[in-house]
Amino acid sequence: MKVADLMKTELALVNEDVSVAEAIVSLADARVHGVPVVNRRGRLVGVLSSSDILQTAAEGEGERRFAELQVRDIMTTPPQTVGPNEYVKKAAEQMLELDVHRLFVEDDGELVGVIAQSDIVRAIATGRL
């Protein structure tokens, strides 16, 4: 099975220039733990995860400063990517090796989806994989 068979194509995106406070709302609205971060040209430049937000809060820079900080200040770079034609097994190995929960799917430099560990586990549980 290929990544394209399991990936989600409807993505919540955040721009690197928005405030962390705005991005937190986007994460909550989308009910996800991580979103791709794009620049003004729509290119993938990072990922903002709940871990990034919690780390910032733990460092004492949260709450009041979330409105002042931009996503680029706390996002994780570089984003980890995979191609849509890669085998799911290879993507799973890549996630484990890199210790990440999701890989963003790019096709010729264009963001086309995301595949998460939970997508793979769901496919195993339902007998799709």
Task: Report d(CA 83, CA 28) in Å as an integer.
Answer: 27
pLDDT of residue 118 exceeding 70:
yes
Grade residue 58 by pLDDT with cuts at 50, 70 and 90: confident
Structure tokens at 14: 């955040």
- The CATH fold assigned to 3-125 is CBS-domain (3.10.580)
Residue 45: CB partners within 8 Å, gap ≥ 6?
Answer: 16, 37, 38, 39, 72, 75, 77, 78, 79
Cα 94 from Cα 92, distance rounded (Å):
5
Question: Would you list the domain boundaries of the chain?
Answer: 3-125
Residue 60's Cβ-side half-sphere holds a number of Cα atoms within 13 Å equal to: 0
**pLDDT for residue 121:** 95
Query: pLDDT class for 67, splitting at 50, 70, 90?
Result: confident
Please tell me whether the overall predicted TM-score, pTM, comes out greater than 0.75 for this model: yes
**pLDDT score recorded for residue 62:** 58
**pLDDT band at residue 64, thresholds of 50, 70 and 90?**
low
Mean pLDDT, the chain, as a whole number? 93
CA distance 126 to 95: 21
